[in-house]
Amino acid sequence: MSDNKYIIAPSILSANFATLGAEVEDVMSSGADWVHFDVMDNHYVPNLTIGPMVCKSLRDYGIKNFIDVHLMIEPVDDLAADFINAGADLISFHPEATKHVHRSIGAIKDKGCKAGLAINPGTSLSVLDDVIEDLDLVLLMSVNPGFGGQSFIEGTLNKIAKVRKMIDATGKDIRLEVDGGVNLSTIAEVAKAGADTFVAGSAIFGTDNYEETISNLRAQIS
Ligand code: DX5
Ligand code: ZN
């Protein structure tokens, strides 16, 4: 997926949607690794964002970077397929949002896309037991999904360490992504607990100088 040990994935939820193509170009040329693309349906979560047409628009605009789609939608399978056709590289979904978790993972991977499972703060890690070996990524939520700019839930740190152990036990190349409230004050402990992939929305797009912010975030975890 990437040779970088640590991946920084800016969440475009906090970008300026009126100039999204330029915003993504800007943040990627400022040293980010992945585009984190948050999809909300006002059903699984109480907010509404962007769909596969916007993903395709970014590709048509010339964005070649890895697009990490985070589906906060119910149901999952049809829109996951639409996102794969629109150019997504990886799709994560929430287990509560599909009737058949194993089938949804398989449907994504059969189309040549990478698959991730997103775990809410109140969701038990036991949902990983029977599917972790099939995953390319575990997306651990450190806020309840639905909005950018929320505070990091401290209890996530224990959970990160537990998922790290589960991933290491598989011996497979599975990334551990943490999403929500990751910023200059929290990223070091998130990395120390075992994460290797960091979503940051407001912490990056809320600043004027993306390059400086991303380099400061990296400095905290190097
Ligand atoms: C929350 C989204 C996150 C969020 C992160 O539902 O999945 O990706 O935008 O935003 P910050 O970094 O501002 O917490
Ligand atoms: Zn997200």
pTM metric for this prediction? 0.98
Instruction: State the pLDDT at residue 2.
Output: 58
Q: Given this model, what pLDDT does residue 4 score?
A: 78
| Residue whose CB lies within 8 A of the most ligand 1 atoms, among 14, 151, 184, for a mutation test | 14
**Gap from CA of 29 to ligand 2 centroid (Å):** 21
Binding site listing for a divalent metal cation: 36, 38, 70, 179
Which amino acid type is present at position 208? D
Question: Tokens at residue 112, please?
Answer: 């040549």
Note the pLDDT of residue 3.
61
Q: Does ligand 1 have an atom closer than 6 angstroms to the CB of 13?
A: yes
Q: Please state the φ and ψ torsions of residue 119, each to the nearest 5 degrees.
A: -115, 120
Which residues, chain by chain, have CB under 5 Å from ion ligand 2? 38, 70, 179
Determine the distance separating the centroid of ligand 1 and the alpha carbon of 40, expressed in angstroms: 11
**179 catalytically annotated:** yes
Mean pLDDT in consecutive groups of 10 residues from the start of the chain, 222 residues: 84 98 98 98 98 98 98 98 99 98 98 98 98 98 98 98 98 98 98 98 98 98 94
pLDDT of residue 36: 99
Q: Return the CA Rg of the chain.
A: 16
**pLDDT at position 1:** 63
Residues 6+ apart with CB under 8 A from 117: 92, 93, 94, 95, 101, 105, 127, 128, 131, 135, 137, 138, 139
